[in-house]
Amino acid sequence: MKIDELIINELIKSRANNRADLDFLKRKVAKKYKIPMPSNIRLLKLYHELLKEKRVKKSKKIENLLKTRPVRSLSGIVNVSVLTKPYPCPGRCLYCPLEAGIPKSYLSGEPAVERAKKMNYNPFSQVKTRIESLDNQGHPTDKIELRIIGGTWSFYPKNYQTYFIKRCFDACNREEGKTLKEVQKRNERAKHKIVGLSVETRPDFITKTEIKRMRKLGITRVELGVQSTYDDVLKLNIRGHGVQETILATKLLKDTGFKICYQMMLNLLGSNLKKDKKMFEELFRKPDFRPDLLKIYPCALLKEAPLYRFWKRGKYRPYTKKRLINLIKEVKKKIPYYVRIQRIARDIPSPRIIAGGSKLLNVRQVIARKIKSEGWRCRCIRCREIREDYNPKEKLKLFRQDYRASGGREIFLSFENKNRSKLYSLLRLRVSSQCNEERPRYIIPVLEGAAIIREVHTYGQLVPVAERKKLAPQHQGLGKKLIREAEKIIKKEWGLNKITVIAAVGTRDYFRKLGYRLKDEYMIKSLS
Ligand code: SF4
Ligand SMILES: [Zn+2]
């Protein structure tokens, strides 16, 4: 009898009722037979084989135990978050906590922080352990979206940045390389491909030099700490930059193909419900902003942040739970189809928050329930993603939305069902502001006279590279169709004969198959 089979039989006999019991049993058997811990997906597969051969009886208990949070791989990727080491930040933001031994703006007790602390912020161990844990939970780990968090990325020393990212690649490649370039090349064909890489930074740190550097590091998405679109609020909270810096950073990043996530803060000192609501209207009304992704963080009142003193003196009042929920609901009503709300509220443990509605745990779920009971839908990408509802017979429609953004033109293409409640696949295409200028100055030479694909992604269950699943939309050719459509638009409507893609390292091969080649860290194709 195979060892895995032994575990299944032990599991059936045992009184294991939860994950801890299951892990204990797996560890015990692994130790006894000196083998690595088998993953849940492997055990689940074997269980189904045994069931078919009638060698075990159907057990709901086992099925539930082996199935883990499926949502983790239902957006077409798995997310791996890694924290940089504690390091000073040039900012002095009033609401931002400072805790010894923790990167600025983070707090002990946050799940990602605790994981990183245990590994002494070592990037290799963090990525390796996270992948192993996702593997054990039964998730395919072929396509990794790597998210680097902690403090202000652009303020960390350059050699630390290179070391950090190189070690993340090493962990995904499962072998050590000599240089960053070498490990990136290796990752193109690795088991765990990095298909997206994001960092968080301040708008005033986005310069042309920084952008070039970010591309060399393989970064494809930037989370900008925008927080507010009011100069007076930014000043009052000692942000150290104004709205103009956000506008400039947004333009530079979009023109070089990056996806942009705005981190916005509600309930800042100097703001109020009316102002906050108007801020989100402006975010999508003004072409200077229009981010692709959003994180909405209600300001959390923390003892470790200077804002606490203002509250003590009665100069600051957090919104109540009811007001906060209503405000976020109003914000959600304004979200356009091309935006994805990544997060609402941080993972800060509730007891650390002194007062106010942001103490509420699971705020996202509470709001989702309210919206459902009121009979309307949030239009954001996250709420429309197909997840496990894939129906191969469903008739899909190609939608197109053109909008002005940061001096250029954005074309958002998507495959969705007729009423746009289920989104299968999307593509963000940009004709940068420079394509219209008489004497444009391109930051990156390869982008000269070219349109740029900033994102192409198919949602639903993550399907490993080179596999095809009947019940998932990935690898059914939807992305390819969108790319062809983008190429057609660029050639026919814009008369451009060059198209580029800000492709993450792990997606380069995919684009090669479509006739693209690598140049200056971008994938490029001539349309002439
Ligand atoms: S820039 Fe970010 S990390 Fe730095 S103090 Fe401000 S909020 Fe905190
Ligand atoms: Zn939504």
Per-residue CA distances from 504 to 281, 463, 510 (Å): 32, 18, 10
Whether residues 262 and 158 share a domain: the answer is yes
Query: Per the domain annotation, does 392 fall within a domain?
Result: no
Query: Per the domain annotation, does 361 fall within a domain?
Result: yes
Distance from the alpha carbon of residue 29 to the mean position of ligand 1, in angstroms: 47
Measured distance CA(152)–CA(61) in Å, rounded: 45
Q: How many domains does the chain have?
A: 3
Q: What was the pLDDT predicted at 526?
A: 97
Domain end among 45, 67, 89: 67
Stretch (H or E) spanning 4: helix 3-13
* Domain limits for position 513: 397-526
Please state the atom number of ligand 1 nearest to the C-alpha of residue 89.
4
Domain end among 343, 362, 384: 384
Query: Per the domain annotation, does 248 fall within a domain?
Result: yes
Distance from the alpha carbon of residue 332 to the mean position of ligand 2, in angstroms: 7
Q: Which ligand is nearest to the CA of 225?
A: 1
Q: What was the pLDDT predicted at 490?
A: 96
Task: Give the pLDDT confidence of 253-307 residue by residue, as tens digits.
Answer: 999 999 999 999 999 999 999 999 999 999 999 999 999 999 999 999 999 999 9
Give the closest residue (by CA) to ligand 1 atom 5. 91
Residues whose Cβ atom is located within 5 A of ion ligand 2: 341, 378, 380, 382-383
Q: Which ligand is nearest to the CA of 153?
A: 1
Q: Which ligand is nearest to the CA of 376?
A: 2
Domain end among 18, 39, 67: 67
Please state the atom number of ligand 1 nearest to the C-alpha of residue 103.
3
Buried b (16+ CB within 10 A) or exposed e, 416-437: bbeeeebbbbbbbbbbbbbbee
Distance from the alpha carbon of residue 280 to the mean position of ligand 2, in angstroms: 14
Q: What was the pLDDT predicted at 391?
A: 85
Whether residues 363 and 487 share a domain: the answer is no
Query: Per the domain annotation, does 511 fall within a domain?
Result: yes
DSSP 8-state secondary structure symbol assigned to residue 458 = E
Pocket of ligand 1 (CB under 6 A): 89, 91, 93, 96, 104-105, 151-152, 202, 225
Whether residues 156 and 57 share a domain: the answer is no
**Cα angle vertex 14, ends 10, 15, to 5°?**
160
Distance from the alpha carbon of residue 335 to the mean position of ligand 2, in angstroms: 8
Measured distance CA(47)–CA(254) in Å, rounded: 48
Measured distance CA(415)–CA(420) in Å, rounded: 9
Mutate to test the pocket of ligand 1, among 83, 84, 95, 105 (most ligand atoms within 8 A of CB): 105
121: left (phi over 0), alpha (psi -120 to 50) or beta: left
Q: What was the pLDDT predicted at 466?
A: 72
Whether residues 54 and 102 share a domain: the answer is no
Q: Which is it for strands 259-266 and 293-298: parallel, antiparallel or unpaired?
A: parallel
Whether residues 327 and 421 share a domain: the answer is no
Distance from the alpha carbon of residue 385 to the mean position of ligand 2, in angstroms: 9
Distance from the alpha carbon of residue 339 to the mean position of ligand 1, in angstroms: 24
Whether residues 304 and 346 share a domain: the answer is yes
Distance from the alpha carbon of residue 80 to the mean position of ligand 2, in angstroms: 22
Query: Per the domain annotation, does 22 fall within a domain?
Result: yes
Query: Per the domain annotation, does 389 fall within a domain?
Result: no
Whether residues 477 and 421 share a domain: the answer is yes
Whether residues 80 and 43 share a domain: the answer is no
At residue 426, φ and ψ (nearest 5 deg) are -140, 160
Please state the atom number of ligand 1 nearest to the C-alpha of residue 104.
3
CATH code for position 521? 3.40.630.30
CATH code for position 135? 3.20.20.70
Residue ranges for the chain with pLDDT beneath 70? 1, 60, 63-64, 67-70, 138, 436-437, 469-471
Distance from the alpha carbon of residue 35 to the mean position of ligand 2, in angstroms: 44
Query: Per the domain annotation, does 44 fall within a domain?
Result: yes
Mutate to test the pocket of ligand 1, among 84, 202, 205 (most ligand atoms within 8 A of CB): 202
Mutate to test the pocket of ligand 1, among 113, 149, 152 (most ligand atoms within 8 A of CB): 152
Which token pair is 157? 């020393």
Whether residues 83 and 50 share a domain: the answer is no
Please state the atom number of ligand 1 nearest to the C-alpha of residue 227.
7
Distance from the alpha carbon of residue 139 to the mean position of ligand 2, in angstroms: 24
Q: What was the pLDDT predicted at 155?
A: 96
Q: What was the pLDDT predicted at 469?
A: 67
Give the closest residue (by CA) to ligand 1 atom 1. 91
Please state the atom number of ligand 1 nearest to the C-alpha of residue 152.
3
Mutate to test the pocket of ligand 1, among 84, 99, 104 (most ligand atoms within 8 A of CB): 104
Whether residues 202 and 243 share a domain: the answer is yes
Q: What was the pLDDT predicted at 106?
A: 93
Whether residues 114 and 174 share a domain: the answer is yes
Whether residues 332 and 404 share a domain: the answer is no
Distance from the alpha carbon of residue 81 to the mean position of ligand 2, in angstroms: 22
Query: Per the domain annotation, does 391 fall within a domain?
Result: no
Taking the CB of residue 248, how many other CB atoms lie within 10 A of it? 16
Distance from the alpha carbon of residue 91 to the mean position of ligand 1, in angstroms: 5
Please state the atom number of ligand 1 nearest to the C-alpha of residue 96.
8
Taking the CB of residue 407, how many other CB atoms lie within 10 A of it? 16
**pTM of the predicted model over 0.85:** yes
Give the closest residue (by CA) to ligand 1 atom 4. 91
Contact call for residues 221 and 243 (beta carbons, < 8 A) = no
Mutate to test the pocket of ligand 1, among 83, 89, 156 (most ligand atoms within 8 A of CB): 89
Mutate to test the pocket of ligand 1, among 85, 92, 94, 96 (most ligand atoms within 8 A of CB): 96
Distance from the alpha carbon of residue 362 to the mean position of ligand 2, in angstroms: 15
